[in-house]
Structure 1
Amino acid sequence: MAPSTETLTAERILEATEEVLRRHGPAKATVVDVARALGVSHGSVYRHFRTKTALREAVTQRWLDRTCQALAGTAAEDRDPEARLRDWIRGLAEAKRRKAADDPELFATYGVLAGENREVVAAHLVDLIAQLTSIVEAGVATGAFTTPDPEATARAVFEATSSFHDPRHATEWQRPGIDEEFTTLVDLLVRGLRA
């Protein structure tokens, strides 16, 4: 193994881990495979991530953070809350569908990793609900929405739309009429929120 000329960073390790997981799958990917891909010793990887579990957790966190970061701009925008709500829900659904369609092997791998890292997934869901809550609160503040509990409402909207963004439903995302079903559901939810 030739030593790498680039500085070994956590980000480089995570990128390599993602590629190793894509190539070998979660059952066969090892820290040694990641080190080999980087041209370093496995001890160098362990200096950044103390265990294989910690490495897999970090990869899962990185994957989920991409979704949160992509949606954060919509959640924080200063414009019509109804349009933001629609765009945020559509953005979440499209991000998950794109991941499933563009890289099905890695998407399946992350399904396994998400099952192993339930605390990371739980924190991700808290972040998503917080973004959605901020949109509902903005709607209440402007008088566009009416609800006594914006957080409970955000959670209900999230759960009501789960078949369009929860990876457990990925096999359904390509069926005919899915976009029309999505639009119908979002229209119904928004009508229910209007003041």
Structure 2
Amino acid sequence: MTGPSLSKELILDTAEQVLCRFGSDKATVVDVAKSLKISHAAVYRYFPNKASLLNALVERWLHNIADSMQLVLRTPGSASERLRLWFETLLNLKRAKLLEEPELFALYFSLSEQTPQVVAAYTDSLLTQITQLIDTGITSQEFRPCNSQRTAIAVLHAMLRFRHPAHAQSWTSPTLQQDFDDVWQLILSGIANTSNTQQSI
């Protein structure tokens, strides 16, 4: 396979399958090349080493999640409604991946621990979105004045159980929704502008 038929996306799709089959530790670039029936040198033209291939895989996975979350920013509603919807969407998206493709989910959880810089960039993109929602709430006087960037970090930390793969086993708990509601109410009580009596949050 050469020329136009070979692409980065095809290599990444194949690498994903190979990694699921052999595991991230044992799988090699040569394994990916064999699955594509090409030389490993052809893969190296797109990805100079295994580390860059793994980085690209995780970056694609996380980029798709961040793009889905970006859509929430354009959803109608108050700032508090959209901020809650943002976290609900993130939880539902990751839970769906866990239930529908458990092997793939486990693979990317493992890979994310090997690619901290990629994960850090992804986290920054999520924080930018949360900050934007909080800024909107401050402008509308729905949220009390605060450092929106620091508040976004605190809120993201508070919602750790509902977004981090390390807590994935709890995402099928029968009390998950109530637990989410309780944490959300705690967050809202900390950021709501209670002096704005005309605003119902």
Bin for the TM-score computed over the shorter chain: over 0.9
Pick from 91, 106, 114 the counterpart of residue 89 of structure 2.
91
Indicate yes or no: 2:165 matched with 1:158: no
Give 1:4 deviation, angstroms. 6.0
Aligned length: 193
1:36 deviates by: 2.1
The amino acid of 1:164's aligned partner reads: F
- CA offsets, 1:131-182, max 9 Å, x none? 1000000111111111320111111111001011111111222222111111
One-letter code aligned to 1:99: K
Alignment root-mean-square deviation, CA: 1.6
1:190 Cα deviation from its structure 2 partner: 2.0
Matched, 1:111 2:104: no
Q: How does 1:113-192 map to 2 (within 5 A)?
A: 113-192=111-190
1: CA distance between counterparts of 2:177 and 2:171?
9
Alignment partner of 1:101 out of 99, 102, 116: 99
Kindly report which structure 2 residues correspond to 1:4-153, keeping only aligned pairs within 5 A, or say none: 7-77=5-75, 79-153=77-151
TM-score (norm 1): 0.92
Aligned-pair CA distance for 1:188: 2.5
Displacement of 1:9 after TM fit? 1.1
Contact (CA 8 Å) 1:21, 1:29: kept in 2 or not? yes
Normalised by the length of structure 2, the TM-score is 0.90
Range 33-42 or range 89-98, more displaced: 33-42
Q: 3-state DSSP class of the match of 2:84?
A: helix
- Following TM superposition, by how much is the alpha carbon of 1:45 offset from its aligned partner in structure 2, in angstroms? 0.8
| Structure 2, unaligned runs of 5 or more | 194-201
Question: CA separation in 1, counterparts of 2:129 and 2:74?
Answer: 8
Identity of aligned residues (%): 35
Q: C-alpha separation between the residues in 2 aligned to 1:100 and 1:147?
A: 37
Q: Which amino acid aligns with 1:126?
A: D
Q: Distance in 2 between matches of 1:147 and 1:87?
A: 22
Residue identity matched to 2:162 = F
Counterpart of 2:113 in 1: which secondary structure? helix
Distance 1:101 1:4 in 2: 36
Deviations 1:91-118 (A, max 9, x none): 1111221222222212221122111111
The secondary structure found in structure 2 opposite 1:146 is: coil
Partners of 1:136 and 1:41 in 2: how far apart? 50
CA contact (8 A) 1:22 1:105 kept: yes
* Stretches of structure 1 lacking an aligned partner (at least 5 in a row): none
